[in-house]
Amino acid sequence: MAAGRSRSDALYRRASKVMVGGVNSPVRAFKAVGGTPLFIARGRGPAVWDSDGNRYTDYVCSWGALIHGHADPRVLAAASQAARKGTSFGASTEVEVRLAEKVCSLVRSVRKVRFVNSGTEATMSALRVARAYTKRPALLKFDGCYHGHADPYLTQAGSGMATFDLPASAGVTPGTAGDTLTVPYNDEGAAEDAFRRDSDRIAAVIVEPIAGNMGVVPPERGFLEKLRKLCSGSGSVLIFDEVITGFRVSAGGAQQLYGVEPDLTCMGKIIGGGFPVAAYGGRIEMMDMVSPEGPVYQAGTLSGNPVAMAAGLAALEGLSGTSYKKLEKLSRLLGSGLAEAASAEGVEVTLNRVGSMFSLFFCGGPVRSFAEAKKSKHGLYPKFFWGTLGRGVYLPPSPFESSFLSLAHREGEVDGTVRAARAAFRELRTG
């Protein structure tokens, strides 16, 4: 059982006086689970320690970025070596060329790439490219898919917006919202209807090829293929948001896993090795629309930062086919263990998993859309979260977020997690 959290509580009180909500990203505030958030002091391998010294097996993994676990020696060595040479130049370096070459070699659809600093920058920029390329205004997205906090994406978004039950964001103009069309995820018919009505307006379709911001929801057979066909037939641009799935579910991302190539791909998280790196890339004729080659302006002082580039390159170079086999084996073991523990304690759950990303829904399955994800008994999740946290397991503080395993996790951590989950399931049933 975890010890007290008095220092985290005190830090949260201090933070709340000087930072909005006491945090710098909303889900960290623990509003979905209650209580005060953790303040993390350090991480190593599969675990983090909070400011009070409590150790937790970590399934947040910096929201999926840390596929090698915390403080991976290769990533640390690469970043440290780069930092000793200088932390930022605002000019090009060899390491960003090497990382670009690595990305293009791994992701088949990406022939040219532009590095940015966040997933929001990547998706915002990709949409701008698509609009310039097609000379059309509208965007088609899907309920529960979160693509960052740029204005066009904040309608029926998942993740933090779902946590706070916000259908849209204040500050987004009606004109911007009017250019965003939203249909249910995994609904081929709804997407087809949208194109039937507005194909001459739709510049782009953006989709998480595996939804990770309404919980993990895989694509139904044929769904991604239908989107590819609709875009190809209408001259629209298909954008895959692989900020979560890129290099996570396979070396080439979800597009390699499912055999569907988008026109543009947005990447983040793993690509930075724990540093703030993201990218967008794709077909040459589209990427050449970007300045200085073309008229689409996008720039960033810290884009291609050499320390972050070195960390990202080390992270990608540390992955192999063996890595994904290990992750699959561990993830299958954990998934089956959690399902068996829930069943043994008489708690109805659906576990959705693709590779090393998974989610528990407190409902009968299947869960194939945001509407079905919202049918989960979310009142049970806070109790389950605190039940596992108190036993040394750190899950996402929101029922709409994905959990992740890393290559640093071992069977011992998985077994301990299943034991903690079973005790937490038992408390749900008896409490």
Please indicate, yes or no, if residue 139 is contained in any of the structural domains: yes
What is the average per-residue pLDDT within 172-197?
A: 90
Please indicate, yes or no, if residue 292 is contained in any of the structural domains: yes
pLDDT digits (tens, 9 = 90+) for 358-414: 999 999 989 999 999 999 997 899 999 999 999 999 999 999 999 999 999 999 999
The yes-or-no verdict on residue 164 having pLDDT over 50 is no
If pLDDT is split at 50, 70 and 90, which confidence band does 166 have? Answer: very low
**What's the pLDDT score for residue 1?**
42
**Predicted TM-score (pTM) of this structure:** 0.94
Please indicate, yes or no, if residue 185 is contained in any of the structural domains: yes
pLDDT digits (tens, 9 = 90+) for 203-253: 999 999 999 999 999 999 999 999 999 999 999 999 999 999 999 999 999
Please indicate, yes or no, if residue 2 is contained in any of the structural domains: no
**How many domains does one find in the chain?**
1
Please indicate, yes or no, if residue 15 is contained in any of the structural domains: no
- The catalytic site residues sit at 146, 241, 269
Q: Tell me the residue range of the domain where 101 lies.
A: 73-317
Please indicate, yes or no, if residue 118 is contained in any of the structural domains: yes
Please indicate, yes or no, if residue 92 is contained in any of the structural domains: yes
HEC states along the chain?
CCCCCHHHHHHHHHHHHHCHHHCCCHHHHCCCCCCCCCCEEEEEECEEEECCCCEEEECCCCCCCCCCCECCHHHHHHHHHHHHCCCCCCCCCHHHHHHHHHHHHHCCCCCEEEEECCHHHHHHHHHHHHHHHHCCCEEEEECCCCCCCCHHHCECCCHHHHHCCCCECCCCCHHHHHCEEEECCCCHHHHHHHHHHHCCCEEEEEECCCECCCCCECCCCCHHHHHHHHHHHHCCEEEEEECCCECCCECCHHHHHHCCCCCEEEECHHHHCCCCCEEEEECHHHHCCECCCCCECCCCCCCCCHHHHHHHHHHHHCCCHHHHHHHHHHHHHHHHHHHHHHHHCCCCCEEEEECCEEEEECCCCCCCCHHHHCCCCCCHHHHHHHHHHCCCEECCCCCCCCEECCCCCCHHHHHHHHHHHHHHHHHHHHC
Please indicate, yes or no, if residue 98 is contained in any of the structural domains: yes
Residue 90's CATH number: 3.40.640.10
